[in-house]
Chain A
Amino acid sequence: MFAFALPMASEEGGFIPPSVSDTHLPEIFPWAAEYGTGFGKQMLMIVLSIVLITWFFSAAIKNPKLVPGKMQYLAESGYAFVRNGIGRDIIGEKNFRPWIPLLFATFFFVLLNNLFGAIPFLQLPSFSHAGSAYAMAIIIYGTWIAVGLKNHGIRFFKLAVTPAGVSPVMLILLVPLEIISNFIVRPLTHSLRLMATMLAGHIIVMLAASGARHLIVIQDSLALNGVGVLVIAGSVAMYFLELLIMVLQAFVFTLLTAIYIQGAIEADAH
């Protein structure tokens, strides 16, 4: 099964743990080309997620019923969760409506791409690749600045870095910190938090799989084979932990998006 491309431990003995490069599979187009030179599995999954999200939510709301069916109920719950649970609660009743689509698209885009890491055969969280995480963070970062400029003009840059009610002496200290924190660190943490958790989860899956294989297939000792079975059992627990983290990170990413937008809209309020 080439698609899994689990790292093959050396038959001669020593176990070689999987590395980041193992998440970089050869490209699909051109077929089996070196990673980074064409269209690969990760990009295919990005496209797949867009198709799936569009299909599911369009189909669910195609003929909306007053009393929803199962599919419509599920879709509406998801929509309402982002709309009310994230959008309205964070951005506020007055301003949240224009941001529903962005938050909705962000949440389900990240969520589904994360969950791909838990689906057999796909088994790769798209955001374990830094490029995708950067792309999302750049989009949100650009949105944040655009919203701030639209609401406050060029003054936004001043508002964003000067906390209100602080003495001028403290401002000398705080302004550089705020500049670093808001304009440099923020997009990095926003993207790397997502990327790192997904990559770590994926490496754990790979490590468990390759480790179990090594212990069961390569080792001759019965005791070590037994430990390999334990590794598989433990990896099931890790799988559910990963599921939790996948959902949680999608939520956190969207929540931060909402918080940034809210901060840009009401930059003068704090």
Chain B
Amino acid sequence: MNSTDFILAAGESVNPLMPNPWEILVTGVGFAVLLFIVIKVIAPKFEQAYEDRVTAIEGGLEKAEAAQKEAEETLAQYKAQLLEARTEANRIREEARSEGAQILEDLKTKATDEAARISEQAQRQIQAERTAALSSLRTDVGTLATELASKVVDEALKDDARAQRVVDQFLNDLEAQQNAGASN
């Protein structure tokens, strides 16, 4: 049979809607086999790969988040510590300043006191020396004057009591005169 006859013969009888039963069978069974393989092997593996990726990505994100959180906590801690240190430094500086002022004040007071004390002591010493000198002078002058007078006026004036009275009188006058001179 030549090709034209074949085509014409077949063309008249073939209805495209009429199935070949063998093809139904092969397709049905074939698809069932494919579906079985997909259910048992392929789909689980793809799902697993997908899950693994999600887990890995989420795990990575969680890790990053944890690290971020830790870093933030550390930063906050450092900041708090820094603030604390600054406050502490300020406090210490303030303390040092007030302490310094205190020390200065103390030293000033002490110096003033010392100066006053020294000055007072000197005053007192001067006073004492003056008093001593005065009394010594008084005695010496009296004795010298008496001696001089006795030598001058001789025996007549050997009456001590009178002589002493005269001398005291003289000295008192002298002192009064001096005081008057000082008050001027």
Could you list which residues of chain A lie within 8 angstroms of chain B, going by C-beta atoms?
7-8, 10, 16, 18-22, 24, 35-36, 38-40, 42-43, 46-47, 49-50, 53-54, 57-58, 61, 64, 66, 72, 75-76, 79-80, 83, 100-102, 104-106, 109, 126, 129-132, 134-136, 138-139, 192, 195, 199
Residues on B with beta carbons closer than 8 Å to the beta carbon of A129: 19-20, 23
Chain B interface, DSSP helix/strand/loop, else mixed: helix
Annotate B8-20 by CB proximity to A: 1 below 8 A, 0 otherwise. 1011011111111
Residues on A with beta carbons closer than 8 Å to the beta carbon of B14: 19-21, 24
Q: Is residue B35 contacting chain A, with contact meaning CB distance below 8 A? A: yes
In angstroms, how far is the closest chain B Cβ from the Cβ of A113?
9
In angstroms, how far is the closest chain B Cβ from the Cβ of A142?
10
Q: Please pick, from B19, B30, B50, the residue contacting A46 in the complex, using a CB distance under 8 A.
A: B30
Chain A interface, DSSP helix/strand/loop, else mixed: helix
Q: Is residue B144 contacting chain A, with contact meaning CB distance below 8 A? A: no
Stretch at the interface among B41-49, B101-109, B132-140, B169-177: B41-49
Whether the Cβ atoms of A132 and B24 lie closer than 8 Å is yes
Residues on B with beta carbons closer than 8 Å to the beta carbon of A134: 19, 24
Contact A131-B21, Cβ < 8 Å, known A57-B42, A100-B43:
yes
Q: Please pick, from B4, B16, B31, B50, the residue contacting A20 in the complex, using a CB distance under 8 A.
A: B16
**A136–B29 CA distance with the chains assembled, in angstroms:** 10
In angstroms, how far is the closest chain A Cβ from the Cβ of B31?
6
Whether the Cβ atoms of A135 and B23 lie closer than 8 Å is yes
Residues on A with beta carbons closer than 8 Å to the beta carbon of B45: 58, 61, 64
Whether the Cβ atoms of B42 and A58 lie closer than 8 Å is yes
